Structure 1
């Protein structure tokens, strides 16, 4: 009997500690997205006649084939590589589809360098009138920059990709093909994956420590309920417009863990997600701190999962 009482007491103690810790995580780690500043409703382009123009709205009808959203924070050195890759892709595609229309949204997330100026200068040099540069008053984080960009997109399909050019941009064709094949009621998501290269011949180059951390994070994500996705964090994800309308108005997370919230929202709303192998290589200059941001991501993910499980966050249809 004494042993049973000890076990019951231990169970009650552990359960109480779990409840208290969960409450603290929800209280202090739940993200609070800030309201968009008025100046953030506009973009700058190389159109001298109308240099500053109002952004589009995800609720509007699509007016271009593809929107490309690039979150950028202090990316003056790495951004031109991606811009060149995109320009070459568009040039090749227009040889096959002369009427192909796109827009390129560079979401300058409060950079302290010349990211925005570099983007505009590249657009002027190559007469890239489709480039729209948006300046955030304050840094939101990668997830916030992506969300704001997608919410302002006009594309039938919407892709977000990292500013470092780590993923070969031409791989978007595989994502588009798979999204069209898997679409249900016009809704589909196709995400780049760095974990299937052995089966497909795609090339992935990463450090051993990055590979180990990705394995650990994947295990943690699986434990918290996101199953069936090998690579949640690849910064190369494509959405049909209908799927984006279901996902992004519901987003809360503005930092690194936002990818997992996207996949949770897709799961809750039965939106098909296709994982597509892509070519990827590690690029120097990452803004992520391996130790600090890994801990931050773990706590943020726990807060996200608890808020949805407890019904604190409601999904708007």
Structure 2
């Protein structure tokens, strides 16, 4: 019995020590997230190839809708999405003359011709409707695709459990890439965002719930185009790590919720 008690005490001590180490790592590495923008990322190219400053969420609103399209090596898949999206937006504009929009393609450090393909739509529709932001280096984008094998399904459900346990409750699919924000909600959530890769959706929703921003899930028709850049096993492991750090960094105060200044 004494031996069993000693074993239990050792296990508890190891668990406490491991928790302390994880807390220290989460806290000490919180400031290592690079949120600075490169000077080149502050401009977009017009149809004539001239540089213009990129608008900010902090600027007064001038459009009814902004569609942000994260893209990494998407020269082949982008035309399908862009043509369908722009057709819908243009038809809506014809039906509602006061409706205004912009599509912002964010080239996430692609190595292919993603920027060149996107700029074709800038030339076709104008830089007031299609703007291309090319990031100097790949920063990553949150999102997930449906997994089919047993192992991938296990990882997916494991990830959803971790999301529920650590960060966000009441949302069935945090990783859906189709999210709609009001300008005020976008300003509040993105001003506090730290995670840049696959788990960024979870942090966004975590921030939204902390600010008590209403969140609703609405069914839409979604067509998955082959060619996702998600690497199954590694991406899930990376997301699991990020989920743990999101929770720990906020509860320890390493990350704080920002209160953005009001805009008109």
The normalised TM-score by structure 2 is 0.88
Residue pairs, 1:107-256, within 5 angstroms: 107-126=106-125, 129-142=128-141, 206-209=146-149, 211-256=153-198
Structure 1 residue matching 2:180: 3-state secondary structure: strand
Segments of 5+ residues of structure 2 without an aligned counterpart are 260-264
> 2:230 aligned with 1:291, yes or no?
no
Provide the rounded CA distance (Å) in 2 between the counterparts of 1:8 and 1:207: 41
Q: Number of aligned pairs? A: 256
Cα distance, 1:35 vs. partner? 1.3
- Tell me if structure 2 keeps the 8 A contact 1:31–1:253: no
Q: Is the 8 A contact 1:43 1:54 kept in 2?
A: yes
Q: Give the aligned partner of residue 93 of structure 1.
A: 92
Pairwise CA distance, 1:134: 1.2
Deviation per CA, 1:76-109: give whole Å up to 9, x if none: 0011111111111112212321121111111111
**Aligned-CA RMSD value:** 2.4
Contact 2:27 2:254 in 1 (8 A): no
1:53 match: 52
Partner residue in 1 for 2:11: 10
- Given the alignment, which residue of 245, 250, 256 partners 1:303? 245
1:273 is paired with a residue of what secondary structure?
coil
Q: Could you tell me how far apart the structure 1 residues matched to 2:230 and 2:251 are?
A: 28
The unaligned stretches of length 5 or more in structure 1 are: 144-161, 163-193, 195-204
CA 207–295 in structure 1, closer or farther in 2 if over 3 Å, else same: closer
Query: 1:92, 1:214 → 2: CA distance?
Result: 37
Q: 1:264 to 1:121 in 2, by over 3 A?
A: same
Provide the C-alpha distance between the structure 2 equivalents of 1:138 and 1:84, rounded to a whole number of angstroms: 27
